[in-house]
Amino acid sequence: MKERFYGLLLAMIIMICCFFPGNNAEAAADPVMIPVRAATQALGGSTLWVNGEKMLKVTLGGRKWKMVLGSSLTTLNEKDFALDRPAAMNEEGRVCIPLESFNKALGVNMELHSGQWVPAQEDTIGRGMYWMRLLQQGDFELARGMMNASLAGIFTDDALENYRASLEDTYGSWTLLRAESTEDSVHKNANLTFQTPRGKSFRMELRFDMGSRLDDLALLRNAPDTYTPPAYDRPGQYTEQQITVGTKSLPLPGTLTVPVHSAGKVPAVVLVHGSGPNDQDESTGGGKMFRDIAVGLANEGIAVLRYSKRTYEYPNRSLTPDFTVQEETIDDSLSAITLLQKDERIDPGRIYVLGHSQGGMLVPKILEEESGEAVAGGMLLSAPSGSLEDLMLGQYKAILKRAVDNHESAAELERKQEKVEMWQTAVDLLHDDEYSTERLPALFPLPSPYWWYDIRGYSGPLIARSQHVPLLILQGENDVQVPPSSLKVWKQALDSRKDVTYKSYPGLNHMYALYGEPSTGDEYRLAANVPEAVIRDMADWIHLAAK
């Protein structure tokens, strides 16, 4: 009888333990607590202790968070946010809260590593903020430790010190304003915007490889993105596929836009960027010229491959001492052509190359390098017809003249005069036969002197004169960067060829946007699109070639 009683008593105790989880050992385990101030500051945020109210105020980017000691109810951006456990003071006098609550509130994933609270490997935004804080504090050893071997080989401690000094000289100190992340076929990107006491802001993009190691970093213009898709953008007409072009050591993210309603294999176009670092859309604030062309040609049954330029994706790793346009542009365009040849959806006999500005100037060189005759035709949009150095000097002289005509301040006129003088010095040195890629001048005023001496005297029309690949050469008549007179030079140089088509467009500026005033380049920030008529001219030329 006693055995039965004790058996029933034991069963009741087990049932009570099951119904009251507070008595369960696993449920009673304390949550991991994280010190708020140390973890926030590691991410570049700030904290403020209000002693009279026992309140801790946390600021990280756009997040404003208030918590009171002993309470589980906090305020996050003026809204209630409940902690999994009340905020408490640890033995060291630090306010601590549950780790899970901290991560959820601030959109990060912190973890304890070697006694330090750091972002987890998969936390791209957190790792970006953490790295910028290391840079700001001068902790270069830890900053380099987050890099892969390729980037760490470039950024010694001294190089990181110089990088930080350059940012501080330009902007002063910096505080996180906004943090976002993106991911493509090559990188996981932390996009961070910082505010400075001088009223300026700047944007950093930290590019992590798929192993979460920092692969490169870029200081980008913090211009507002005012772009709106064109009326002819019909998403139902195409699919977009993330692809990778370029070399094994410097792969580039790109997008292949393929029309969905075409029967059989379709023609395709590779887009080649203009001068300077450019993303795959060739974004300019208010315009995305390459994106417009891609979605526009999709309506015409034509696929388009666009990709980030090497100097955009790898602003530090790509710039070797002997860097030339071969590495900057040509090699990657050839890689893109090869990729299209292997795609079963693409007609290998109808692959075209479209180059804009400097990219257009280099189309004849790309055709020359492509020995397999894989390119059916080339399209040159606003392609310089003469040397690039003379064109750039002319641009800066025109900028100075406009400044004089507009009665700009003496300080601004002096600054622009100095630019002209710098370019004049560079051009004079480039025109001096005493110097070459083998013998560079000791004091060349522009970055990458090897690049400039390799391309000096380059003539696209001279190369194209003896080629036999059909060309379409277009020019905007309101182009402040490449004058309409360039089109005349192309016509004169290629006057013996019967397979070249020319067309110019009134009112179109360098980015192929319609602008009613004389272009200065300032209008690039305004929302604008490539006119559909221009895209139809390209499509008609491609389709006509197939007949």
| Residue 137 burial (CB count, 10 A) | 14
Q: Are residues 108 and 152 in the same domain?
A: no
Q: Are residues 281 and 377 in the same domain?
A: yes
Q: Are residues 349 and 313 in the same domain?
A: yes
Q: Which comes out higher in pLDDT, residue 397 or 223? A: 397
For residue 99, give the CATH number of its domain: 3.30.457.10
| Helix, strand, coil tally for the chain in percent (to 5) | 35, 25, 40
Short-list 407, 281, 301, CA closest to 347: 301
Write the pLDDT tens digit of every residue in 186-224. 999 999 999 998 778 899 999 999 999 999 999 988 878
Q: Give backbone dihedrals phi and psi of 386, rounded to 5 degrees, phi first.
A: -120, -165
12 assigned to some structural domain:
no
Using CA atoms in the order 436, 437, 442, 448, what is the torsion angle rounded to 10 degrees? 130
For residue 154, give the CATH number of its domain: 3.10.450.590
Distance, CA of 364 to CA of 349 (rounded, Å) = 18
**DSSP tag of 236:** G
478 assigned to some structural domain:
yes
**29 pLDDT above the threshold of 80:** no
Matching residue, tokens 């034509």: 302
**163 pLDDT above the threshold of 60:** yes
Strand partners of residue 271 = 354
* C-alpha distances out from residue 228 to 203, 283, 522, 530, 532, Å: 21, 12, 18, 11, 15
| Residue 475 burial (CB count, 10 A) | 26
**16 pLDDT above the threshold of 50:** no
Confidence grade of residue 471 (pLDDT, cut at 50, 70, 90): very high
Count of structural domains within the chain: 4
For residue 522, give the CATH number of its domain: 3.40.50.1820
278 assigned to some structural domain:
yes
Q: Give backbone dihedrals phi and psi of 202, rounded to 5 degrees, phi first.
A: -140, 160
9 assigned to some structural domain:
no
Distance, CA of 101 to CA of 118 (rounded, Å) = 16
Structure tokens at 454: 């390799």
Q: Are residues 313 and 264 in the same domain?
A: yes
Q: Are residues 445 and 479 in the same domain?
A: no
2 assigned to some structural domain:
no
Average pLDDT, stretch 238-243? Answer: 97
**24 pLDDT above the threshold of 50:** no
Average pLDDT, stretch 421-432? Answer: 95
Containing structural domain, residue 323: 238-386+458-545
Q: Are residues 301 and 369 in the same domain?
A: yes
**DSSP tag of 326:** I
18 assigned to some structural domain:
no
**485 pLDDT above the threshold of 70:** yes
Task: Give me Rg for the CA atoms of the chain.
Answer: 29
Q: Which comes out higher in pLDDT, residue 257 or 225? A: 257
**DSSP tag of 32:** P
Write the pLDDT tens digit of every residue in 132-144. 999 999 999 999 9
| Residue 30 burial (CB count, 10 A) | 7
Q: Are residues 411 and 304 in the same domain?
A: no
Distance, CA of 251 to CA of 314 (rounded, Å) = 9
233 assigned to some structural domain:
no
**10 pLDDT above the threshold of 50:** no
Average pLDDT, stretch 416-424? Answer: 95
Q: Are residues 520 and 467 in the same domain?
A: yes
Structure tokens at 339: 């990729």
pTM equals 0.90
pLDDT at 221: 80
**20 pLDDT above the threshold of 80:** no
Using CA atoms in the order 99, 102, 108, 113, what is the torsion angle rounded to 10 degrees? -30
pLDDT at 56: 97
- Residue where a domain terminates, one of 429, 457, 485: 457
Q: What is the DSSP string of 90-114?
A: -TTS-EEEEHHHHHHHHT--EEEET
Alpha carbon 439 to chain centroid, angstroms: 34
Residue 543 parent element (H or E)? helix 532-545
Structure tokens at 91: 């033995």
Confidence grade of residue 4 (pLDDT, cut at 50, 70, 90): very low
Q: Are residues 395 and 508 in the same domain?
A: no
Q: Are residues 361 and 253 in the same domain?
A: yes
- Residue where a domain terminates, one of 457, 480, 495: 457
Mean pLDDT of the chain: 92
pLDDT at 26: 42
**DSSP tag of 51:** G
Distance, CA of 421 to CA of 399 (rounded, Å) = 13
Q: Are residues 155 and 212 in the same domain?
A: yes
pLDDT at 546: 67
Q: Are residues 430 and 322 in the same domain?
A: no
351 assigned to some structural domain:
yes
- Residue where a domain terminates, one of 95, 113, 131: 113
